[in-house]
Amino acid sequence: MAGMDWFLAILGGYLAIGAVFAVAFVTRGAERIDANARGAGWGFRLMAVPGSAALWPWLAMKWARPRRVVTLTPRDTLAHRRVHLLAWCVIPLLVVAIVAWGWLGGVDPTGVGAVSP
């Protein structure tokens, strides 16, 4: 209980700082790291708030040292495609294992009981 309260307090603090940061970031910072955000409307800026609040330490670093990354040759997605395949060879086994454990291993608390003297 105490552990979870601490975790929630830390998470809440992280997101609270993130929320304050996000306001500054979407109004000023976003266009510093990405020229396409210059002159963007409020719809876009509002939409960027949750992500900015969640990823604020990384964005703060980028904002402090803006560096326009120009990628002429986007990286191949071969690794992703292979991971998709590998992942889906493992996931069904996990699903069956979890369901079997939960279904066969779990005793229905609302099921039939027995009374022994």
Partner 1 sequence: MSDERGFYVGYLEAPPAHARFVKRAILVLMWLCVVGAGVSAWAMRHPGEAVWDTSTPRMFEGVLRESPYPMLETEEGVYLIVRIGKFGAQDRVAGLADRWVRLEGYLLERDGRRMIELLDDAGAIDEVSGTPAGSEDRQDFGEVSLRGEIVDSKCYLGAMKPGDGKGHKPCATLCVGNGIPPMLVVHHDGGGKDYYILATDAFGAANEMVREYLGEAVEVRGRVVERGGVRFVRALGIERR
Partner 2 sequence: MSATYRAVNWNAHKKKYDLIALACVALFVAVYVGVGSLVFRGNGAISAPVLAIRALGVCAVVMLHVVLMIGPMARLTHLAAPLLYNRRHLGVMTFVVALAHAALATLYYGSFGGANPLTVVLTMSGSGASPGAFPFVVPGAVALMVLFLMAATSHDFWLANLGAWWWKWIHMGVYGAYVCIVGHLALGVMQSEKSVVYLVMILVGAGLLSGLHIAAGVRAWKRDARTDDAVQGWIDAGALDAIPMGCAISVRARGHAPVAVYRHEGGVSAIHGVCAHQGGPLAEGRVVGGCVTCPWHGYQYKPEDGCAPAPYDDKLATHEVKVVDGRVMVRIEGDSR
Q: For residue 94, what are its two tokens?
A: 């996990």
Given 39, 113, 115, 116, the residue binding partner 2 (CB under 8 A): 39
Question: Is residue 104 a contact point for partner 1 (CB under 8 A)?
Answer: no
Question: Is residue 110 a contact point for partner 1 (CB under 8 A)?
Answer: yes
Given 65, 88, 113, 114, the residue binding partner 2 (CB under 8 A): 88
Residues 10/12/15/19 CA torsion (nearest 10 deg): -140
Question: Is residue 73 a contact point for partner 2 (CB under 8 A)?
Answer: yes
Q: Which residues lie below 8 Å from residue 23, measured CB to CB, with a gap of 6+?
A: 49
Given 10, 16, 20, 47, the residue binding partner 2 (CB under 8 A): 47
Question: Is residue 92 a contact point for partner 1 (CB under 8 A)?
Answer: no
**Angle in degrees, 0-180, between the axes of helices 2-24 and 56-64, rounded to the nearest 10:** 40
